[in-house]
Structure 1
Amino acid sequence: MNVTMNFHQIESTPAIKEMVEKKSSKLKKFFNAGFDLKWTLSVDKGGHHSHTILAADGFTLNADSVKDDLYKTFDDVVAKLEKQLVKKKSQAKDHIHRQRPEIQPETETE
């Protein structure tokens, strides 16, 4: 798991970094191999904004959250990513287990 953090109009603190790492570790259960997670944290008139991009083998997921509390945005983003990963996993499982139609061999008539 490779986590990168970008801060816009907000100061980077060890507490924020620690909380992002802790929340990001919840996503490990969905992967056997590694994945990249990019967090962009910012503050504007609307409140605290967290945008996350998760890149793994062959797919990319995005999640956004805007709330009054920065730490609540972490929970919201991770919940959204977990929901997307569950959906992705079920789609992959369905694709693997779907039955292929049997092809009837052609019989030669002479």
Structure 2
Amino acid sequence: MNLNISGHHLDITPAIREYVETKFARVLRHIDNVIDVQVILSKEPLKQKAEVTLHVPGKDIHAESIDDNLYAAIDLLVDKTDRLVVKHKEKQKNFDNTAAKHLAS
């Protein structure tokens, strides 16, 4: 799994990189087969924006968040991404169970 962190109008310091890596470790516990993760942090006048794209087999999961503080934007992004990953996993689980029911009938 590759974790790519890039910044637009923002330098990615080791502290920011470490913060993003530790926060996304929580998300990656919920899903096993992540191909790669791209995180884009950007600074615009009066707001900080964080975006993520998770590439998993069969789907790309994308989320973004905007806040005044970059660390708060990252926290919101991780929460959104975690919910989307759990939702994707539930859909996969329900799909797999439905197929087994039809085969058994």
Structures share fold, TM-score greater than 0.5: yes
Unaligned regions of 5+ residues in structure 1, if any? 103-110
Q: Give the conservation status (yes or no) of the 8 Å contact 1:46–1:66.
A: no
The structure carrying a bigger helix percent of its residues is 2
What is the SS of the residue equivalent to 2:83?
helix
Instruction: State the Cα distance separating 1:46 from its structure 2 match.
Output: 4.2
Q: Give the conservation status (yes or no) of the 8 Å contact 2:31–2:89.
A: no
**Residue pairs, 1:7-86, within 5 angstroms:** 7-86=7-86
The one-letter code of the counterpart of 2:49 is H
CA separation in 1, counterparts of 2:21 and 2:78?
Answer: 11
Unaligned regions of 5+ residues in structure 2, if any? none
Instruction: Work out whether 1:3 is the aligned partner of 2:3.
Output: yes
Q: Give the conservation status (yes or no) of the 8 Å contact 2:34–2:55.
A: no
The one-letter code of the counterpart of 1:100 is H
Q: Which structure has the larger Rg over C-alpha atoms?
A: 1
CA separation in 2, counterparts of 1:32 and 1:61?
Answer: 14
What is the SS of the residue equivalent to 1:100?
helix
The one-letter code of the counterpart of 1:47 is K
What is the SS of the residue equivalent to 1:33?
coil
State the percentage of identical aligned residues: 27
Normalised by the length of structure 2, the TM-score is 0.87
Q: Give the conservation status (yes or no) of the 8 Å contact 2:34–2:54.
A: no
> Runs in 1 of length 4+ with deviation above 6 angstroms?
none
Cα-to-partner distance string for 1:46-100 (whole Å, 9 max, x where unaligned): 4000011110122110010110010011111111111111111111111111222
In the other structure, the counterpart of 2:88 is 88
Normalised by the length of structure 1, the TM-score is 0.84
Instruction: State the Cα distance separating 1:33 from its structure 2 match.
Output: 3.4
